[in-house]
Amino acid sequence: MRTDPGTRGFLIAAAVLLAAGPFLPKWLSYIATISLGYALVVAGVVLLMRAGLVSFGQGLYFCLGGYAVGAAGKYWNLGDAFVLLAAAVAVSVAVAALLGLLLARYREIFFAMFTMAFSMILYGLLSKSQALGSTDGFNVSHATFLGYAPVALQGWLYAAAVVLSMAVAIALQRYLRSGMGYAGDAIRENEIRVEYLGISVYRVVYLKYLVAAGLGGLGGGLAALASGHVGPDMAYWTTSGEFVFVALLGGTQHIAAAFAASFLFELIKTYAFELSPYTWQMMLGVVLLAIILFLPSGLWSLVARGREALR
């Protein structure tokens, strides 16, 4: 089978990231791992955005994924990273399967507000739940890899994150070019036409919501493993707002944009927050306004423009 350029790009990226792993300073590989997790959540947001839906509540699945990983380790002594992540995805998709039945009926601001409300419900539940550490959350136990408990856990997590997220990215970018992927663009542009082409818009939106939730859970699970801690803030609406922000920053044209923007965001967040904690959100706000005004297709449109110019 021939590999298309997108797949090849992600395979190369995976190889480079894995090869560079042992040489990265600890802080950088930590940021990279976290941002790979974030990027998966953002990819879910992008998927929905391409169908014209802005989810202001993807923190719900980010948080569910994180807590699933944490709780499975805490209560059932499950330690294997892949089992934990599978649990994170399963829990998220299961919850989405239920909520999606309702949410798939809504569009525009209603979809945004409704998704936000659901994540705030989880925030409220977790904040009041003594067993799960209420507002403080709890620490996540160390993961193992197929029975092996590495001393240099972070390096292993980094490698696992790279492999997993690049595999997901390859699948996603194929997905975006498939019939299902184009159905998203079609729904964004004209739902009536889609119905008149014999396709249930409700069903397509529902399925996309499930995929986005699965990505959110996986990302949350990865972030929980990497940071070693989960808390209800993961479901607070401002966390979801950050995912939307990163999605807009990168743009929705290419899955790679979600990864680049997430990394950039994590990097800036870490440093800007240290250097000037009082103006960090202001910077975010200004950047967001600038993107909406001057670069509505996100940073990736610069990359696309550059390619055109080189041609």
Partner 1 sequence: MFTLTAILVDGTIYASWLFIVAAGLTLVYGVMRILNLAHGSLYAVGAYTAASAITWYLSAGHAPAGSYLVLLAAALAAGTVTGLLIERGVLRLMYGRDEVVMILVTYAVLLILEDVIKLIWGVESYSAYQPYQLLGRLQFGPMTFANYDLALIAVAAAVAIAMWWTLNRTRRGKLLLVVIHDREMSAALGIDVTRVFVVTFLIGGVLGAAAGALTAPVVSVVPGIGVEVIVLAFAVVVIGGLGSVQGALVGSLIVGIARAAAVHLLPEVELFVIYGVMCLVLAVRPAGLFARPAARKI
Partner 2 sequence: MNAVLETRALSKSFGAVVAAAEIDLVVGEREVIGVIGANGAGKTTFINMVTGYLRPSGGSIRFRGRDITGLPPRQVVRAGICRSFQVSQLFRELTVLDNMLIALGMLREGALSWLAPLHTRAREDEARKVLERYTIERYADSRVATLPQGVRKLLDIAMATVSEPPLLLLDEPTSGVAAEEKFALMDTVMAPVRASGAACLFVEHDMEIVERYSARVIAFYDGRILADGPTAETLTDPEVRKYVIGAELHRDREAGCSK
DSSP 8-state class, residue 25: -
Shortest CB 291 distance to partner 1, Å: 9
Q: How far apart are CA 75 and CA 90, in angstroms?
A: 17
Please provide the distance, in angstroms rounded to a whole number, between the alpha carbons at the two ends of the chain: 27
In the complex, minimum distance from the CB of residue 284 to partner 1, in angstroms, rounded to a whole number: 5
Task: Indicate whether 281 belongs to the interface with partner 1 (CB under 8 A).
Answer: yes
310 contacts partner 1 (rule: CB under 8 A): no
Question: What is the longest distance spanned by two Cα atoms in the chain?
Answer: 60
- Please report whether residue 192 would count as binding partner 1 according to CB under 8 A: yes
Q: Contact, 119 vs 57, CB < 8 A?
A: yes
State yes or no: residue 197 binds partner 1 (CB under 8 A). Answer: no
Contact 24, 32 (CB under 8 A): yes
Distances, alpha carbon 199 to alpha carbons 36, 103, 176, 230, 297, in Å:
34, 18, 17, 40, 28
Options 86, 155, 241, 267; binder of partner 1; rule CB under 8 A: 241
For 24, list phi and psi in degrees, rounded to 5: -75, 140
Q: Interface mask (CB under 8 A) for partner 1, residues 106-125, using x and -?
A: x-xxx-xxx-xxx-xxxxxx
Q: How far apart are CA 308 and CA 311, in angstroms?
A: 5
Sign, CA torsion 167/171/176/177: positive
16 vs 102 by CB, closer to partner 1: 102
CA–CA separation, 262 and 268 (whole Å): 10
Candidates 16, 152, 279, 306; binder of partner 1 (CB under 8 A) is 279
Q: Does 280 bind partner 1 (CB under 8 A)?
A: yes
Quick one: what does residue 128 bind among partner 2, partner 1, none, with the CB cut-off 5 to 8 Å set by partner type? partner 1
By CB under 8 A, which span of 67-75, 167-175, 256-264, 278-286 interacts with partner 2? 167-175
Q: Which of residues 50-79 bind partner 1 (CB under 8 A)?
A: 54, 56
Binding residues for partner 2 (CB under 8 A): 4, 171, 174-175, 177-183, 185-186, 189-190, 192-200, 204
Binding residues for partner 1 (CB under 8 A): 54, 56, 102, 105-106, 108-110, 112-114, 116-118, 120-125, 127-129, 192, 237-238, 241, 244-245, 248, 278-282, 284-286, 288-289, 292-293
